[in-house]
Chains A and B, each alone.
Chain A
């Protein structure tokens, strides 16, 4: 066909014993938005990395505008008009938007920043971006940074754009704006591939969907003929029930009381202002907010990892009913008080687990200091590791495998499994399903619900508002370190939460 922007034929890629891609075929037309869908480890990112010159395929052919090309480096990809917007931004903080866009371009003599700024502004007007080209990156919100990344590839004349999970860091409103821009680019004849886990986004923005499973192409369907159920079935290979149960809290009692919390971080920035709330037993309290609104600091303050400048945190013991102050305690002191506080942090391999250690050693993190022996007890953690691998169906060669070798979903199962193994009375989870596929995500929701039934007070920091609304009992919204609202999850709407998310930090950011 005339209109083909890029075609992949029989692409294969192995990493050691793992076959990341096997005989993948994919076609993308000009003026089209294609969703690339698949569970974790199905080879989406590997495939895209081969198009953008980061990996080189073991087998197969790539055709651009009908001609075979060889892409050996990101520069080759640029020369062929391919631009990838990665999940993690690669920008220099102290440079302006324009300077970042110019970075890495080969121009003779000095950069003409003025002309470049003008060109950036033209691009903004053409596609409807809102961006000040002279703003420094560190002053920007996440969505602005993403805009810079997109303009960067457009500036280089990219005709084929690949966006890797672009909405993971955006509010619903911002995501909608991004989709409008994508549609404008499509009308301009650009070919766009979007990788996402959120099926409703797939349905609303793309023209066609290509599904990968275990490194192989399962098929491509026009979006108009697809439903959430049919896509899930293609991805997983079987039918999956896609509803989250929400039981009513049984006998909710105050478990954790936070009053007037104020925190200032190491850079001297006030990250939490006057936070007061109560977490109840047998209830899931959701926390919504744009990334960086103080969610992390709040959880870390409760867990004893963030210094508290003002305010109090009180724990009410379910057995004795006694009040215990957790204000400014270390994690060791909290444990010594007999408070079973579990915490699944956002940074799984950098905080919750040690990537280079095996499953047994990672189980030991929580329990190694027990007892008076000078030596380590390996029996219990080893039993726990075996139990978690069996119970949560963790895919791993054995329990002596370093956790960094596991896929994202399995890493999370190991971490959540360890944290709930101590039958916590307070369970805090931060973005527990980020980057997880459908099966693993639903497993995590199920585990949280089980803990809820057992009477734990659960604090759930999430980003997918659909999930927050379906899973939680109450939702507290943070904006710029303030509480901007607390809503009943059973009656609220995504729009209401989205409005609260942007409420207080419109002017400050």
Chain B
């Protein structure tokens, strides 16, 4: 016969889905991923900068742990990032892609800053002012989140675009306020009430930020319980998994969307309150510093589990601080730190593939057909 079928080989590799993997194995794979990531980074550092990788990694570690002060700063950053991540998580679990956390945090911060600025010199006691700021921030964050939620629930608009654009509106509003309030048109708002510390969260045990950290720790427990054990949390999960099922069992989907976004926005507003009242005591449009977006990654990496989010937000803050520390201590450009961060995140996310899938290689000695 002239006609021959092209002789084809079995493919070299083919990929199959795994069954559930035992926990220790999954953890082992993740640990291996980090080790490989560090090894690759070390190699790269040696080749590119001719520096001792040990020195570079020490610098990285120092970024977060060198002095008690640095540790405290690191913990504050972790707390703030975690707080915003906790805020976006209920919405994400509902598959409502709220990427407007940045704007919701800023509006919350603005509410606090406004009250501090306007009432700071009226002699109002902190015992009244701080609760006022707390309520104001939560309300503003809530309003900023519930606007896109109403549009989604009633007209089914795209929440991703809507919440994203709300961020820019928030930034511009802050810009206007600063331009109006700042003295001599410098365009920068100084520390508010630096004389009488009105509206400043008190330091407990003489430690800055400690109150912030405690608040966020409590919030973590609250969100964990809310999502896992409350009826509201269950409704959020059902709406997120399947709106049809939610309708079928009689959940009012619109109500759940509005309620959950109100909560998400309120928690963002709370983060804004902590940033202004408990940390910076001023307002800029960079106050949230992109944490509203990083929080999305924190939440996803932890698969929306608040307990794991403690770890993922620590990881991201540690890497970020490490990157600038490498630049400072080793007199290298900031990029080398960012390259290392990138390599580590790449390996951590990449190893999930090996947890879910198995790679089969072509067996070299195939058995003969019977």
Contacts and interface: CB of A to CB of B under 8 A. Distances in A.
Interface in B244-264: 244-245, 247-250, 252
A254 to B, nearest CB: 25
Contacts of B238: 354, 357, 365
A408 to B, nearest CB: 17
Nearest to A373: B231
A231 B317 CA distance: 65
A331 B19 contact: no
A64 B5 CA distance: 10
Nearest to A370: B231
Given A16-B17, A17-B19, A376-B231, A69 B245 contact: no
A61 interface: yes
B237 A332 contact: no
B215 interface: no
Report which residue of B241, B247, B249, B252 has the largest number of chain A beta carbons within 10 angstroms of its beta carbon: B249
B11 interface: yes
A59 B11 CA distance: 13
Interface stretch (A179-187, A193-201, A343-351, A448-456): A343-351
B241 A357 contact: yes
A56 B14 contact: yes
A351 B244 CA distance: 5
Report which residue of B16, B250, B367 has the largest number of chain A beta carbons within 10 angstroms of its beta carbon: B250
B9 A356 contact: no
A501 B237 CA distance: 40
A10 interface: yes
Report which residue of B232, B237, B242 has the largest number of chain A beta carbons within 10 angstroms of its beta carbon: B242
A354 B245 contact: yes
Interface string A354-397: 11110001001110110001111000000000000000000000
A369 B244 contact: no
Contacts of A354: 237-238, 241-242, 245
A330 B250 contact: yes
Interface string A155-193: 000000000000000000000000000000000000000
B230 A69 contact: no
A357 B369 contact: no
B95 to A, nearest CB: 12
Interface residues of B, number: 32
B360 interface: yes
B2 interface: no
Interface string A59-75: 10100100101101000
Given A70-B9, A305-B248, A357-B241, A368 B231 contact: yes
Interface in B316-370: 360, 367, 369-370
A335 B231 contact: no
B17 A15 contact: yes
A352 interface: yes
Contact of B8 (A70, A365, A369): A70
B151 interface: no
B360 A58 contact: yes
Contacts of B249: 331, 365-366
A343 B244 CA distance: 14
A259 interface: no
Interface residues of A, number: 47
A350 B242 contact: yes
Contacts of A335: 250
B241 A56 contact: no
A9 B370 contact: yes
A441 to B, nearest CB: 23
Interface string B263-306: 00000000000000000000000000000000000000000000
Nearest to B235: A368
Nearest to B4: A67
Nearest to B9: A70
Contacts of B367: 59
B222 interface: no
Contact of B250 (A18, A69, A332, A352): A332
A80 interface: yes
B104 to A, nearest CB: 25
Contact of A351 (B17, B18, B234, B248): B248
Contacts of B370: 9-10
Nearest to A67: B5
A478 B5 CA distance: 52
Contact of B244 (A16, A17, A18, A347): A347
B322 to A, nearest CB: 36
A376 B14 CA distance: 44
B229 interface: yes
A67 B1 CA distance: 12
A350 B5 contact: no
A353 interface: yes
A72 B8 CA distance: 9
Contact of B231 (A61, A64, A375): A375
A76 interface: yes
Nearest to B244: A351
A422 B117 CA distance: 60
A80 B4 CA distance: 11
Interface in A273-309: 303-305
Interface in A416-466: none
A375 B4 CA distance: 69
Interface of A: 9-10, 14-18, 56, 58-59, 61, 64, 67, 69-70, 72, 76, 80, 303-305, 330-332, 334-335, 343, 345, 347, 350-357, 361, 364-366, 368-369, 373-376
Interface of B: 4-5, 8-11, 14, 16-20, 229-232, 234, 237-238, 241-242, 244-245, 247-250, 252, 360, 367, 369-370
Given A59-B367, A305-B247, A354-B237, 12 more contacts: A9-B370, A14-B16, A58-B360, A67-B4, A67-B5, A331-B247, A331-B248, A351-B244, A361-B234, A368-B231, A374-B230, A375-B229
25 contacts: A10-B370, A14-B16, A15-B16, A16-B17, A56-B14, A58-B360, A61-B369, A64-B5, A72-B11, A304-B250, A305-B248, A331-B247, A343-B248, A345-B248, A350-B244, A351-B245, A352-B245, A357-B241, A365-B238, A365-B249, A366-B249, A373-B231, A374-B230, A375-B229, A376-B234
